[in-house]
Copies of this chain bind each other. A is one copy, B any other.
Amino acid sequence: MPHRKHDSRLAVGLMAGTSLDGIDAALVRLAGPAEQPRVRLRAFVTLPYPPKVKQWIMRVAAGVQTKVEGVSQLNFLLGELFARAALHVCRVAHVSPQRVSVIGSHGQTIYHQGSAELIQGHVEPVDPNTLQIAEPAVIAERTGAPVVADFRTADVAAGGQGAPLVPMVDYLLLRDRRKGTVALNIGGIANVTVIPAKAKPLDIVGFDTGPGNMVSDALVQHFTGDREYYDAGGRVAALGKVNEPLLADALCHPFFLRPPPKSAGREQFGQDFVARYFFSRRRTRFEDLLRTAAELTARTIAGALARFVFPGEKIDRLIVSGGGAHNRLLVKRLVELLPHLTVELSDRYGLPVDAKEAIAFAVLADRTLHGLPGNLPSVTGARRAVVLGKIVKP
Query: Which residues of A are in contact with B by a Cβ distance under 8 Å?
Result: 60-61, 63-69, 71-73, 75-77, 79, 110-111, 113, 119, 126-131, 135-138, 140-142, 149-150, 153-154, 156-158, 368, 371, 386-387, 389-394
Residues of B within 8 Å of A67, CB to CB, are 63-66
A141 B158 Cβ-Cβ under 8 A: yes
**10 pairs of A and B residues whose beta carbons are closest in the complex:** A390-B390, A72-B131, A137-B153, A141-B157, A65-B65, A76-B129, A391-B391, A72-B111, A137-B154, A387-B393
CB distance from A374 to the nearest CB of B (A): 11
B129 A154 Cβ-Cβ under 8 A: no
B72 A63 Cβ-Cβ under 8 A: no
- Copy number in the complex reads 2
CB distance from A84 to the nearest CB of B (A): 14
Q: Can you list 25 contacts pairing A with B, beta carbon distance less than 8 Å?
A: A61-B68, A63-B69, A64-B67, A65-B65, A65-B66, A68-B110, A69-B111, A69-B113, A69-B119, A72-B110, A73-B129, A75-B129, A76-B157, A137-B153, A138-B153, A138-B157, A140-B157, A141-B157, A141-B158, A389-B392, A390-B391, A390-B392, A391-B391, A391-B392, A391-B393
A371 B393 Cβ-Cβ under 8 A: yes
CB distance from A208 to the nearest CB of B (A): 21
Residues of B within 8 Å of A394, CB to CB, are 387
CB distance from A231 to the nearest CB of B (A): 31
CB distance from A267 to the nearest CB of B (A): 13
